[in-house]
């Protein structure tokens, strides 16, 4: 993939364009003049060691930029390890509101001696690097602006307690970066005090460290890189939340009553945060819980409990990742065939097998769509923002009960475990949709009923819940062949009728799932299809394509499987459609092929990204430009 970036806003401008640079004013002539400032449009990478406690510092950096009103996003690239391995945290400030990963790093904060050499070597000319002075990174690059800082010395001065120094040291870099980037110190202090809200002493100590870093930079370092922050008003009223917390909130407001799980990265924090919310907001005045949470013995048990509860009428869910999804396969088929509601959150990570458990991917799509043996397929919701995590969590519970089938919500590590800006979530005003459930009174009126009979022509039958006080309410649920009355049957016509009805039911799902979002630029022949977290990169890439290459691509973002009719229409109305996704095998493209008319499938082209890092706009643009032959 090409590494040039003609037109990328962060490319350093020539030194002579320095007029108007406030920082450069009055500097001695011997120091090279800083280039034209690049305002609110750059990325910072903090390279640390896992377990060194840099999270709070990184969070303060992110929140300070947010507090300055500048659109910002943060990504944690961490190893599958508790302590000791390298980890990187990337922050992107973007006045345009771009939140995809930016390939290029503009400001490096190198705190990990193990990776420091590699880290600085990966920078482009004109970037900046802040590092512990005795690492002497200058020796590797004379085309990078170097800011050596005596971190240990500064830390020792503000933190007499040796034990705490490892943690406090991180706040020194916050101060240095704040000074060099022109951060509003009020914003930094507010963010820091919010971070340590319940720990006054820790807040004071950390703030002293930030100030020490700031003062050191102010007195000793000379700003020579172009990257600066300036106050904006683009984040007012917005919230910051991770996707897993958003899923958890969505589930709580959807009235979930049974939550089962078996811990696995990156899904654990869905349930961990949900437990916190439920304990806070779903314990009744008499101290009793309107929910149950069970840490199951494995994912087989987790899904078994979900389906058992769904059968008995409770809103139930579990959260897992790829390996757990694999274990759920047999039960997923039972859920489909016996028509049992349940919600499964799959926070995708990199497979196959254990794969890269702390990296992101969109590679469970096909295995989830057809999870289990026989002719099985499942509705899937595909959120692409924290707001959609919240909304689709709610939609998933409605859909599962409406459709009487397991519904999967496919998020991923990038969305789930990173912090994102968002408009505040809206309170769900629509009442819960509990689906077609017959009560004892309704049974009395109806007389006869058949559990698996398609009364309404939508493929969705009626069910009763255990405990319904009517002698005809009961039926026998089984994963073996059954007729409309839920009786055991191996008759060919019974089986075929059942399978055809299930297919009809799946057709109904097309009309019930969230419709795609379509952005038509005009009469373009080129279309892009993406889903989930590939959205951020595609949005930015479309701007790049337009600005740099004059290509105005239309865009359709798929939000669910089965596909709504708009998807077919979109493909039909374009000559070439690029399907952008984060897996090797073009899984969404394959799924689309199964759904499109034969003549349409040849229009599909694939843009894939599968190295474990979130997809970036430049990669999408480069690939489309290449395939377009521009």
Considering only residues 486-505, where is the footprint of other proteins by CB under 8 A?
Answer: 487-488
Q: What's the min distance (Å) between Cβ of 292 and other proteins? A: 5
Q: Which is nearer to other proteins, 239 or 517 (CB)?
A: 239
Of 60, 178, 399, 473, which one interacts with other proteins (CB under 8 A)? 473
Q: In what order do the strands lie in the sheet with 517-519?
A: 517-519, 554-558, 526-531, 576-581, 604-608
**CB of residue 74 vs other proteins: minimum separation in angstroms?**
14
| CA 550, 554, 555, 561 torsion-angle sign | negative
Q: How far is the CB of 488 from other proteins (least distance, A)?
A: 7
Provide, rounded to whole angstroms, the least separation between the CB of residue 295 and other proteins: 10
Q: How far is the CB of 142 from other proteins (least distance, A)?
A: 44
Residue 412 forms beta bridges with which residues?
348
Q: Which is nearer to other proteins, 289 or 626 (CB)?
A: 289
Q: How many residues does the chain have?
A: 630
Dihedral in degrees, nearest 10, Cα atoms 491, 497, 498, 502: 160
| Residues 360/612, Cβ–Cβ less than 8 Å | yes
* Closer residue to other proteins, CB minimum distance, 470 or 593: 470
Nearer CB in complex with other proteins: 151/311? 311
Can residue 241 be called a binding residue for other proteins (CB under 8 A)?
yes
Shortest separation between residue 89's beta carbon and other proteins, angstroms: 20
Residue nearer to other proteins on the CB measure, 9 or 479: 479
Residue of 107, 114, 134, 123 whose CA lies nearest to 46: 107
594 binds other proteins (CB under 8 A): no
Please answer whether residues 401 and 307 qualify as being in contact, where contact means their C-beta atoms are separated by less than 8 angstroms.
Answer: no
The answer to whether 470 contacts other proteins (rule: CB under 8 A) is: yes
Query: If binding is defined by CB under 8 A, does position 252 make contact with other proteins?
Result: yes
Specify the residue, 285 or 522, whose C-beta has the smaller distance to other proteins.
285
Shortest distance (Å) from residue 305 CB to other proteins: 4
53: buried, middle or exposed (CB in 10 Å: 19+, 13-18, 0-12)?
middle
- CA distance linking residue 318 with residue 284, whole number of Å: 23
CB of 422 to other proteins, least distance (A): 9
CB of 450 to other proteins, least distance (A): 15
Question: Which residues ranging from 298 to 357 are in contact with other proteins (CB under 8 A)?
Answer: 298, 300-316, 330-331, 334
CB of 416 to other proteins, least distance (A): 16
Instruction: Work out how close the CB of 440 gets to other proteins at its nearest, in angstroms, rounded to a whole number.
Output: 9
Tell me the backbone φ, ψ of residue 148, rounded to 5 degrees. -70, 140
Indicate which single residue of 142, 161, 284, 575 sits in contact with other proteins (rule: CB under 8 A): 284
Q: At what angle do helices 565-572 and 587-595 cross, to 10 degrees?
A: 90
Report the residue from 42, 253, 370, 536 that binds other proteins according to the rule CB under 8 A.
253
Q: Is 385 in the site for other proteins (CB under 8 A)?
A: no
- Contact region for other proteins (CB under 8 A) — 477-485, 497-505, 588-596, 609-617? 477-485
Q: Whole-angstrom distance between the N-terminal and C-terminal Cα of the chain?
A: 15
287 binds other proteins (CB under 8 A): yes
Nearer to other proteins, 204 or 298 (CB): 298
Give how far Cα 296 sits from Cα of 263, 302, 310, 321, 322, Å: 9, 5, 16, 15, 17
Nearest-approach distance from CB 63 to other proteins, in angstroms = 10
Confirm or reject binding of residue 568 to other proteins (CB under 8 A): no
Q: Interface with other proteins includes 374 (CB under 8 A)? A: no
* Contact map string, positions 256 to 275, toward other proteins, x by CB under 8 A: xxx-x---------------
Q: Taking CB under 8 A as the rule, does residue 476 contact other proteins? A: yes
- For residue 53, is it left (φ>0), alpha (ψ between -120 and 50) or beta? left
Cβ nearer to other proteins, comparing 319 with 579: 319
Is 121 or 465 the residue whose CB approaches other proteins more closely? 465
504-513 as b/e: b if 16+ CB within 10 A: ebbebbbebb
Q: Which is nearer to other proteins, 93 or 252 (CB)?
A: 252
Among residues 43, 110, 105, which one has the least CA distance to residue 71?
43
Is residue 455 a contact residue for other proteins (CB under 8 A)?
no
CA nearest neighbour of 232 among 93, 98, 43, 336: 93
Contact residues for 17 (Cβ-Cβ < 8 A; gap 6+): 35, 36
User: By C-beta, is 163 or 198 nearer to other proteins?
Assistant: 198
Size of the site for other proteins (CB under 8 A): 73
State which residue, 315 or 557, has the beta carbon closest to other proteins. 315
Cα 107 to Cα 145: distance, rounded to the nearest angstrom:
9
* Cβ(598)–Cβ(518) below 8 Å: no
Nearer Cβ to other proteins, position 166 or 485? Answer: 485
How far apart, in whole angstroms, are the C-alpha atoms of residue 286 and residue 436?
32
- Verify binding: residue 55, other proteins, rule CB under 8 A: no
Candidates 75-83, 225-233, 407-415, 467-475; binding stretch for other proteins (CB under 8 A): 467-475
Region 422-451 residues binding other proteins, contact defined as CB under 8 A: 424-425, 427-428, 431-432
Report the distance separating Cα 276 and Cα 289, nearest Å.
13
**418 binding other proteins? (CB under 8 A):** no
Distance set, CA 301 to CA 12, 212, 244, 407 (Å): 56, 53, 22, 17
469 binds other proteins (CB under 8 A): yes
The alpha carbon dihedral of 387, 388, 391, 397 has a sign of negative
């Amino acid at each position: 993939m090409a590494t040039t970036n003609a037109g990328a806003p962060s490319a350093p401008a020539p030194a002579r364009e320095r007029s108007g640079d406030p920082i450069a004013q009055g500097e001695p002539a011997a120091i090279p003049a800083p280039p034209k400032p690049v305002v609110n449009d750059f990325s910072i990478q903090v390279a640390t060691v896992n377990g060194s406690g840099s999270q709070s510092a990184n969070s303060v950096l992110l929140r300070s930029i947010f507090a300055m009103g500048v659109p910002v996003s943060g990504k944690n690239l961490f190893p599958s390890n508790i302590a000791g391995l390298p980890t990187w945290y990337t922050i992107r400030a973007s006045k345009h509101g771009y939140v995809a990963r930016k390939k290029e790093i503009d400001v490096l904060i190198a705190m990990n001696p193990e990776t420091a050499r590699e880290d600085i070597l990966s920078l482009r000319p004109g970037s900046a690097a802040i590092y512990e002075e005795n690492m002497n990174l200058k020796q590797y690059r004379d085309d990078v602006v170097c800011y050596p800082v005596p971190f240990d010395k500064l830390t020792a001065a503000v933190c007499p307690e040796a034990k705490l120094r490892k943690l406090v040291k991180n706040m020194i870099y916050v101060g240095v970066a704040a000074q060099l980037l022109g951060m509003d110190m009020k914003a930094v202090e507010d963010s820091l005090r919010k971070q340590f809200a319940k720990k006054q002493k820790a807040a004071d100590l950390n703030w002293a460290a930030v100030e020490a870093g700031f003062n050191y930079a102010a007195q000793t370092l000379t700003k020579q890189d172009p990257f600066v922050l300036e106050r904006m008003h683009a984040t007012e009223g917005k919230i910051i939340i991770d996707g897993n917390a958003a899923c958890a909130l969505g589930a709580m407001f959807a009235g979930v009553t049974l939550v089962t799980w078996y811990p696995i990265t990156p899904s654990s924090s869905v349930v961990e945060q949900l437990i916190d919310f439920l304990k806070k907001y779903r314990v009744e005045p008499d101290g009793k819980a309107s929910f149950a949470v069970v840490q199951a013995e494995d994912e087989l048990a987790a899904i078994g409990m979900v389906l058992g509860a769904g059968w008995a009428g409770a809103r139930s869910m579990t959260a897992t990742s790829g390996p757990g999804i694999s274990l759920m396969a047999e039960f997923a088929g039972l859920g489909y065939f016996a028509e049992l509601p349940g919600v499964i959150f799959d926070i995708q990570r990199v497979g196959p097998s254990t794969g890269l458990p702390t990296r992101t991917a969109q590679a469970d799509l096909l295995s989830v769509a057809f999870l289990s043996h026989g002719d099985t397929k499942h509705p899937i919701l595909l959120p692409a923002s924290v707001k959609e995590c919240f909304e689709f969590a709610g939609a998933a519970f409605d859909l599962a009960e409406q459709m009487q089938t397991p519904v999967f919500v496919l998020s991923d590590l990038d969305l789930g475990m990173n912090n994102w800006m968002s408009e505040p979530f809206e309170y769900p005003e629509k009442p819960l949709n509990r689906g077609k459930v017959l009560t004892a009174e309704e049974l009395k009126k109806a007389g006869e009923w058949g559990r698996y009979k398609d009364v309404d022509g939508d493929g969705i039958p009626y069910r009763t819940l255990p405990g319904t006080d009517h002698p005809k309410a009961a039926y026998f649920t089984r994963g073996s062949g059954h007729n409309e009355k839920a009786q055991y049957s191996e008759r060919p016509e019974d089986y075929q009728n059942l399978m055809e009805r299930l297919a009809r039911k799946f057709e109904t799902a097309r009309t019930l799932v969230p419709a795609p979002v379509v952005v038509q630029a005009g009469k373009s022949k080129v279309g892009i299809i993406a889903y989930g977290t590939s959205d951020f990169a595609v949005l930015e890439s479309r701007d790049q394509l337009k600005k740099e290459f004059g290509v105005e691509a239309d865009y359709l973002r798929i939000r669910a499987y089965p596909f709504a009719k708009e998807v077919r229409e979109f493909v039909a109305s374009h000559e070439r459609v690029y399907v952008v996704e984060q897996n090797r095998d073009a899984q969404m493209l394959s799924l689309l092929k199964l759904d499109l008319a034969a003549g349409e499938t040849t229009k599909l082209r694939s843009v894939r990204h599968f190295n474990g890092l979130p997809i970036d706009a430049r990669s999408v643009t480069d690939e489309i430009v290449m395939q377009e032959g521009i």
